[in-house]
Chains A and B, each alone.
Chain A
């Protein structure tokens, strides 16, 4: 997947930008507040049909303008595609190769991008809810049936919560059994997803950081029992029935699961430095990159917004070495010009234009 050229009109602080990109590394630099992130936001939008910063369309419009236009030429499997996305405060229209395109899910699987942003670096320090949302989204992209599994679990959970809220103790076992049934499916799916990520994580961390520790993702299920069978989970839920009745809502199950990273035997929250949070997150994204390639045989566009701040120079050169071996198209934003290697393309941004 390669974005060959981009044309922005009235998008964020860009009145009009027309530029071409390298299929390898694109280095976008400039002072803060000039529009570097806005540019990679547009690139992400082309790939995923959403922003990684906002859900509100009107944030994407240049102030005083009713609509923004993103046009791009994309190359996938040697075929050139034209994308035209028109955004207004009320909605958006996507045209792929000059005809209207409505199947968002198909589209996203065709033109995928992965981001690495300063906001996402806190993934493993933030709330468990953020981590579940992140892994759910990734798993649903990689395994389309996971989406329905999630939905069914959510339905069983909201029914159980209704029983708890209405204090109908006699009806609880039925919904505990339904919850256990869907929880055991979710646990199994989550475990196998984590396993497939762990196949790549250690090696990627060592390649990116030049360090020798073993990085692994660890599942921390809300219901921790030796075997997560329907029957086993049901027993745990039943033994917590009185407690849940008092709370008036469900207290355990996959909606309370968590994930953590381990470097050898050091868990993230207690022991990771700021730099380690960054570098492990990068390794995780690269593991996802490999899984996406295995599943769909396309290399997602990789966007690294402000990757290099707070990293020491030896780490930076390791990362650039690693990037030079990737087959993905890469976009990197930075406040400084490229220091370590010569990227395929360098763009300097100032006040919403290229310099």
Chain B
């Protein structure tokens, strides 16, 4: 069967998503095809709205529909702690855990000379301004445990070590609830070298 052009267009759109292959894209498109006109309109509207209303917070670069965002404008957050992440979606698991009550700063990437990305291409200048203008005492570096993420953390450490009281890096180690049998050697050896008095 030849797929009609408008359906094919939807399949194409779905297959642009990360991790979505042609088969899955087809399944999703057929799912949309079974929607009532109202459901389809709602779905399309959600996509348009998200682009119209969500923008990065002008202070921390987290995605928000108010500017400054709910976190930046909240008066119950600890304003002396600033957690630096690579991407806006990195804050979701931290927020969900409820473990951190400070502020965030999204870098919008990590340093990679190979891709022509240096501090200038990230929100480092804005971070510098915040450190100068706000009451930040501790900088928590939560960049990814990759070579680029490590390099970015190292850069930020050099850049700001004389401007805040404390710079910390998230510990690398064992996943909670994980069985020791299933932990890879690298994670295990990091957990050992990062061990704490008990």
Chain B residues whose CB sits within 8 angstroms of the CB of A90 once the complex forms: none
A1 CA to B114 CA in the complex, in Å?
45
A149 CA to B147 CA in the complex, in Å?
11
Cβ proximity bits B127-159 to A, threshold 8 Å, 1 near / 0 not: 000000000000000000011101100110010
Interface pair B184/A175, CB less than 8 Å apart: no
Interface pair B147/A156, CB less than 8 Å apart: yes
Say how far B192's CB is from chain A's closest CB, in angstroms. Answer: 12
Q: Which residue of A lies closest to B119 (CB)?
A: A171
| Besides the known contacts A163-B113, A175-B151, 12 further A-B residue pairs in the complex with CB atoms under 8 A apart | A143-B185, A145-B185, A145-B189, A148-B186, A149-B186, A155-B148, A159-B147, A159-B148, A166-B113, A174-B155, A175-B113, A181-B150
Interface pair A159/B118, CB less than 8 Å apart: no
Interface pair A145/B147, CB less than 8 Å apart: no
Which of A145, A162, A168 lies in contact with B184, CB distance below 8 A?
A145
Q: Which residue of A lies closest to B114 (CB)?
A: A162
Q: Which residues of B contact A (CB under 8 A)?
A: 111-114, 118, 146-148, 150-151, 154-155, 158, 184-186, 189
Chain A residues whose CB sits within 8 angstroms of the CB of B147 once the complex forms: 152, 155-156, 159, 178, 182
A168 CA to B118 CA in the complex, in Å?
11
The 9 closest A-B pairs by CB, nearest first: A145-B185, A162-B113, A155-B147, A162-B114, A145-B186, A163-B113, A178-B151, A156-B147, A148-B186
Say how far A196's CB is from chain B's closest CB, in angstroms. Answer: 16
Say how far B193's CB is from chain A's closest CB, in angstroms. Answer: 11
A171 CA to B185 CA in the complex, in Å?
32
Q: Is chain A's interface secondary structure helix, strand, loop, or mixed overall?
A: helix
Interface pair B154/A168, CB less than 8 Å apart: no
Determine the interface band of chain A, counting residues with CB < 8 A from chain B. 20 to 34
A187 CA to B158 CA in the complex, in Å?
26
A168 CA to B117 CA in the complex, in Å?
12
Chain A residues whose CB sits within 8 angstroms of the CB of B148 once the complex forms: 155, 159
Say how far A70's CB is from chain B's closest CB, in angstroms. Answer: 31
Say how far B184's CB is from chain A's closest CB, in angstroms. Answer: 7
Interface pair A177/B154, CB less than 8 Å apart: yes
Cβ proximity bits A40-58 to B, threshold 8 Å, 1 near / 0 not: 0000000000000000000
User: Is there a chain B Cβ closer than 8 Å to A346's Cβ?
Assistant: no
Say how far B119's CB is from chain A's closest CB, in angstroms. Answer: 9
Chain A residues whose CB sits within 8 angstroms of the CB of B186 once the complex forms: 145, 148-149
Which of B118, B154, B185, B189 lies in contact with A178, CB distance below 8 A?
B154
Chain A residues whose CB sits within 8 angstroms of the CB of B146 once the complex forms: 155
Interface pair A171/B113, CB less than 8 Å apart: yes
Cβ proximity bits A263-302 to B, threshold 8 Å, 1 near / 0 not: 0000000000000000000000000000000000000000
Interface pair A144/B185, CB less than 8 Å apart: yes
A152 CA to B186 CA in the complex, in Å?
11
Chain A residues whose CB sits within 8 angstroms of the CB of B112 once the complex forms: 159
Q: Which residue of A lies closest to B150 (CB)?
A: A178
Interface CB pairs A-B, < 8 A, 17: A145-B189, A155-B148, A159-B112, A159-B113, A159-B114, A159-B148, A159-B151, A162-B113, A162-B114, A168-B113, A168-B118, A171-B113, A171-B118, A174-B111, A174-B154, A174-B158, A181-B150
Say how far A176's CB is from chain B's closest CB, in angstroms. Answer: 11
A14 CA to B34 CA in the complex, in Å?
57
Say how far A183's CB is from chain B's closest CB, in angstroms. Answer: 13
Say how far B121's CB is from chain A's closest CB, in angstroms. Answer: 12
A152 CA to B155 CA in the complex, in Å?
18
User: Is there a chain B Cβ closer than 8 Å to A198's Cβ?
Assistant: no
Q: Which residue of A lies closest to B185 (CB)?
A: A145
Interface residues of A in 134-158 (CB under 8 A from B): 143-145, 148-149, 152, 155-156, 158
Say how far A27's CB is from chain B's closest CB, in angstroms. Answer: 40
A177 CA to B113 CA in the complex, in Å?
15
A70 CA to B185 CA in the complex, in Å?
34
A158 CA to B147 CA in the complex, in Å?
11
Say how far B144's CB is from chain A's closest CB, in angstroms. Answer: 12
Interface pair B184/A144, CB less than 8 Å apart: yes
A229 CA to B198 CA in the complex, in Å?
28
A143 CA to B184 CA in the complex, in Å?
11
A158 CA to B112 CA in the complex, in Å?
10
Which of B114, B151, B154, B184 lies in contact with A158, CB distance below 8 A?
B114
Name which of B146, B155, B184 has the most chain A CB atoms within 10 A of its CB: B155
Q: Which residue of A lies closest to B151 (CB)?
A: A178
Chain B residues whose CB sits within 8 angstroms of the CB of A163 once the complex forms: 113
Chain A residues whose CB sits within 8 angstroms of the CB of B154 once the complex forms: 174, 177-178
